[in-house]
Amino acid sequence: MIEKVSAAVKFLKEKGFDNPEVGIILGTGLGALTDEIEIQHEFVYANIPHFPIATVEFHKGKLIYGTLEGKKVVAMQGRFHYYEGHSMGQIVFPVRVMQMLGIKKLIISNAGGSMNLEWKKGELMLIEDHINLQPDNPLRGHEATAFGQIFTDMSQPYDLEMNQKLVTTAKENGIKLNKGVYVSVTGPSLETKAEYRFLRMIGADVVGMSTVPEVIAANQMGLPVSAISVLTDECDPDNLHPIDIEDIIATAKAAEKDLVILLKDLIKKL
C-alpha cells in the first residue's frame, strides 16, 4: 500500500499538486465548495495511479487542487464508501495521499440522518465524537503500519481548536450548528425503526455510512481533523416515512450555503 500511495503522490506532484495546506472531503450532494476554489489542476480519480473509483452516481469523483481563502487546498469531490465494495485501505487511500502531499489539516463533510428529535433536516451538526459500527478498521493488517502506530489513540479524534473556530463562525453568521455524536454503519440500506432506536440508545445523534474510516486514518498520521454532517432526513422511529434519495440530495444542496460559509471561514483562520 505504501508503494501505491507513493506512486499516486509522485504523479500528483509532477502534475502541479504543490504542497497543499488543507485537505477537504466533500460528502453526498455537497460539492458547492469547489465553486469557491480557484482551481489550478483537477483529475478524475480514474486517471490517478491506484486511486479507487467512486461508483455512486451522485459522486463526481474528482481530485481538485487550487487556492481557497489564501490557502492551497486539495479537495475530494466525491468520496468512497465501504458499501461500494471498497476495502478500508482503499477508502482511506486518498487521506494518506493528501497527508503525504503535505496537508496539515483535514476537513470532512457528510450527509447524515438525524435521530435527535430536537433537530430538523437541513441543519448542520459538528461532529464531537463518533461510534464506529462498520465491520472493519483501516488500521487492520500489516500494511497499515507504514503510516504510523496502529494502536492509535482515539480519545479526542476531532480537533478542538478547529471545532471551536467553526462554533464561533456559526454564531457570528447566525447559523445553527448542533453538536453531537455520529455513528457510522455499513449501508447501503437504511435503518429499520428498531435499529434507529438502538442507535439512539447507544448515544448517537446522527447516522451515516462514511467519515469514520478517514478520521481514524487521519488520527493515525497525526493529522488534525474536523467534520460536519448535513442533516438530510429525520429518523424518528415513531414517525418514520419511506426514504426519498432525491429529497436527501435536495436537502443537502439547500444546506450547502451555510456549510460553505463555515468551511471557507475555517480555512481562512487556519
Residue tagged 500528483 (cell numbers):
12
Which residue, among 203, 127, 204, has the nearest Cα to 160 in the 3D structure?
A: 127
pLDDT value for 196: 97
How far, CA to CA in Å, does 173 sit from each of 122, 227, 248? 16, 19, 25
* CA 16 from centroid of its chain's CA atoms: 24
pLDDT value for 60: 65
pLDDT value for 56: 60
pLDDT value for 32: 84
pLDDT value for 55: 65
CA distance 235 to 53: 30
Residues of the chain with pLDDT under 50: none
Say if residue 189 is exposed, middle or buried (CB neighbours under 10 Å; 0-12, 13-18, 19+): exposed
Quote the pTM value: 0.94
Domains and CATH numbers, the chain: 2-269 (3.40.50.1580)
pLDDT value for 30: 76
Residue 243: strand, helix, or coil: coil
